[in-house]
Amino acid sequence: MSRIVLATHNPHKVEEFGAIVAATRPDLEVIGYDGPEPVEDGVTFADNALIKARAAAAHTGLPALADDSGICVDVLGGAPGVFSAYWAGHKKDAVANLELLLDQLADIADPHRTARFVSTIALVTPGGDEHVVEGLWPGRLARRPSGDGGFGYDPIFLPDGQGGRSAADLSAEEKNAASHRARAFVALAPLLADLER
């Protein structure tokens, strides 16, 4: 079985990507990255995804995928955006990030709580080929968390077309079929198909 490294130390993302990749390339095993974390000093999702994928490919000698993703809130001009993981400070505290965002939007009426999850995925090969794809998952923000699944901002994100359920209310299968990462992966799949088997 061929292997591809996902440039993250987040086991949730490895599991999610593994399920998405298996649907198209069951012969391709997604493994987590055990190397040093590069400094993510890009100003766009694409910048940061490429930084991580380049580091993982160089460290492991394997093709590398890296996802840089976040939530973009329209009334905040697209913020938190690339700062989603650090919205409440550099501790990367998901609960604090979520609570801060809810507090900032406390007085915002429902019609103005539109948002989208963005996933930008970079694929970098040891030979230096680089590709970037993007997926958007539109929706709006709830006033309080709901659901036990997912992670990060999932409990307050109400994706369009899901009957008011949060991303954390969806089953793993439902989320993997509709999420921003799944949408980015649709564009990524032909690139993975071209990787050596």
Tally the domains of the chain: 1
Predicted confidence (pLDDT) per residue in 102-141, tens digit? 999 999 999 999 999 999 999 999 999 999 999 999 999 9
Any idea what the CATH number is for the domain that residue 101 is in?
3.90.950.10
Pairing of strands 114-124, 2-6: unpaired
CA atoms within 13 A on the CB side of 174: 13
Q: Which domain holds residue 185?
A: 2-193
Predicted confidence (pLDDT) per residue in 61-106, tens digit? 999 999 999 999 999 999 999 999 999 998 889 999 999 999 999 9
Spatial distance between the Cα atoms of 127 and 113, rounded to a whole number of angstroms: 43
The answer to whether the predicted template modeling score (pTM) of the entire model surpasses 0.85 is yes
Catalytic residue among 27, 47, 68, 160: 68
Spatial distance between the Cα atoms of 7 and 120, rounded to a whole number of angstroms: 13
68 labelled catalytic: yes
Q: Which two tokens stand for residue 83?
A: 């700062």
Instruction: Say how many residues make up the chain.
Output: 197
Distance of CA 173 to CAs 19, 38, 81, Å? 9, 31, 25
Contact (Cβ atoms closer than 8 angstroms) between residue 131 and residue 187: no
